[in-house]
Structure 1
Amino acid sequence: MTGDPAGLPKLRLSHPSGGRAEVYLHGAHVTSWVPAGGSEALFLSRAATFAQGTAIRGGVPVIFPQFAALGPLPKHGVARTQPWERVDDGDRPGAVRLRLRDSAETHAVWPHAFVAELAVEVGDDWLSIELTIRNTGDAAFEFTAALHTYLRVGDVRRASIEGLHGLRYRAGKEERVDEDRSLIVNGEVDRVYLNTPPDLVVHDPQNARDFLLRARGFADTVVWNPWAAATAALPDMEDDEYLEMICVEAAQVGAPVRLDAGASWTGSQRIRVQPA
C-alpha cells in the first residue's frame, strides 16, 4: 500500500502479464487501469481533488445508495466519499476486496444498516469490478447504484458506442428511443438507458482500440459527457478534458433495488480492451 501527497492510502494491483491498476481506500475508487502492453484506459482529471470527504473526478466512482440527484440524499450518495477497509488477505497481487459498513456519518443522511463490498481484479487486457450490497438491518430498504466508469479516449468526437440502438433512455424529464445505429457524442450527453443488453462496445479510433463492456446485475447503462460549457463550470476538471473521456456506466437507476432484511444484491462490470 502506498499514499499520495494528500495522505490518502492507495493500493497497486498487478498481473503477471503487466496489466496493472490503482485503487484508493477513499471511496474504494479505482483511478488507473493499464492493460498489458497498452496505455491508460481510465480517465482521471488533471484537476482532480484528493481529500477526505471529496469525490475524485475520474476513474470509477462507486455510486450508492442514490444515483445523481434522484432522491433526497447528497448527489451520488455517500459511498464515494467514505473510507473503505481492505478485507482480503492480500495473497493475490492482482485483486483486492474492500468493505464499507454503515456508520454514524452514513446514518446522518441514510438511516439504514448495510455492508458494501467492492471486489477489483486486473488481468492482462481486462478489469473486473463487482459491487455487493447486504442489508444488515431489520427492515427492507431501497437503493440505486452505479459504477461510474470514466473511459479514456483519444478524441470523444471520433468515438462511438454500439449496443444501444432501439433502446429507451431518459434525458432529464424526457424519455426517448435511440434510433441511431451507434451513439456518436458531438455535444453534451446525459442519458440513462433502461434495460440494456449486457454487452456494449466503445470504439476509440484515435487510440486504435475498442472497449468491450459486460455488465451483470445492473439493468441500465448511463452515458455521460459534460461537453465544453458544463466542464468549464466544474472546479475539478480542466476546460478541454471533456474531449478525453466518455462515461459508460453499469447502473441500476430505472427501478431501485429493494433489499429485505438479511438479503444481498450484486452487480458487476468487466471491461476488456482489444485492438481496433
Structure 2
Amino acid sequence: MNGAPSVRLPGPDGASAQVSLHGGQLLSWICGGRERLYLSPRARFAPGQAIRGGVPVIFPQFSDRGPGPRHGFARVREWAQAGAGRFVLRDDDATRALWPHRFETELTVALGHGSLTMSLRIANIGMDAFDFSAALHTYLRVDELARARLLGLGGCRYLDATLRDEPGVQQEAELRFAGEFDRLYPDTAPELRLREDDRGLDIQARGFPDTVVWNPGEALAAALPDLGACEHRCFVCVEAAAAAAPVRLQPGESWQGTQTLIARESG
C-alpha cells in the first residue's frame, strides 16, 4: 500500500485488513464492503515519519506526557511479521537511546464475522522495572462528522487537552463534534458505540483503562501538512489507552490491552 511494505490479512465474508510494517500500523479494515478506518490521502510513508490514519501504535509515551518523543517511537519504527496477524517490535540501540529499557511489543490483528480485534502486548525482557503508556490511536471513518455521535461516555470525567488538561464531566449522553476536540477519559466504560445515520460501530476495550477521543477540527486539520482542509469531517479517533497513569512492569512481567470493533449496519 502506497509503496510501503505491508501485509494483507484476509477475513471471513470478504473482509480484509492491511498492516504496514512501518509502525506495525493497521491501515485498512474492509468489512461489509466498506472501509471502516480513515487513512489520510496526504499520509506520509517515509522512514522516521508517522502515518496519518489507520491505527498508530502509541508506545512507550502518550502525547507529551513524558520526556521522550511525542506519542513514543513505536509508530515510526520498522516492525517484523512474526506469524499470521502477529507483528513484533523489540528494543535496539536506537530505541534504548530514547528510552533505556529492554522490551518486546506485540500487535495481534484478528478478523471475525463483522469484527476486528487488535491486541497489544508489552513485555519487560530486561533486568529493571519500567513505566510506560500505550494506546491504539484508532481513526474511525465517517461519511460526515456532523452526523456522527459517540455513546457511552455520559457522566464520565475527562481531561481536556485543548484547555491544558482542564478537568470536566461529560453531561451529554451522546457526544457530538464541533471544533477541535481532544479529551482523555480515565477509567471509562469498556463499551462505546459510534453511530452515524443507520450504521453503528461497537467499540469494546479490555485491559486498556482509558479512552481518548480526538478530532482536530477545521483550523488544525488545514494546518497539518499530512491531513488538509476539511479532512477532519471524515473521521473521529476513539482510542483505547493506558494514558492517565503509567503502567509499571517488573522484569519478566507483561501487560496486554485489546480493542474490538464490531460493525452494526442497523445502527
Question: Is TM more than 0.5 here?
Answer: yes
1:95-124 alpha-carbon deviations (Å, 9 max, x no partner) = x10110001110111000000000011123
> What residue in structure 1 maps to residue 221 of structure 2?
231
1:14 matched to 2:3: no
SS in structure 2 at match of 1:157: helix
1:79 matched to 2:74: yes
Question: Which residues in structure 2 correspond to 1:69-218 (within 5 Å)?
Answer: 69-88=64-83, 90=84, 96-172=85-161, 173-205=165-197, 208-218=198-208
Distance 1:204 1:52 in 2: 36
SS in structure 2 at match of 1:271: strand
Distance 2:262 2:18 in 1: 17
> What residue in structure 2 maps to residue 245 of structure 1?
235
Identical-pair percentage: 48
Distance 2:67 2:237 in 1: 24
Distance 1:99 1:218 in 2: 19
Unaligned runs of 5+ in 1: 91-95
> What residue in structure 2 maps to residue 93 of structure 1?
none
CA RMSD of aligned residues (A): 1.0
> What residue in structure 2 maps to residue 221 of structure 1?
211
Unaligned runs of 5+ in 2: none
Letter in 2 for 1:48: A
Distance 1:15 1:235 in 2: 34
1:23 matched to 2:15: no
TM-score for both structures, normalised by structure 2:
0.96
> What residue in structure 2 maps to residue 53 of structure 1?
48
1:137-178 alpha-carbon deviations (Å, 9 max, x no partner) = 111100111000000001111100000011110013211110
TM-score for both structures, normalised by structure 1:
0.93
1:239-269 alpha-carbon deviations (Å, 9 max, x no partner) = 1110000000000111110000110000010
Distance 2:183 2:39 in 1: 21
* Native 8 Å contact 1:171 1:191 kept in 2: yes
Distance 2:12 2:177 in 1: 36
* Native 8 Å contact 1:4 1:10 kept in 2: no
Distance 1:176 1:24 in 2: 37
1:172-195 alpha-carbon deviations (Å, 9 max, x no partner) = 321111011111111110000010
- Runs of 4+ in structure 1 displaced over 2 angstroms? none
Letter in 2 for 1:68: S
Distance 2:109 2:223 in 1: 32
Distance 1:75 1:114 in 2: 19
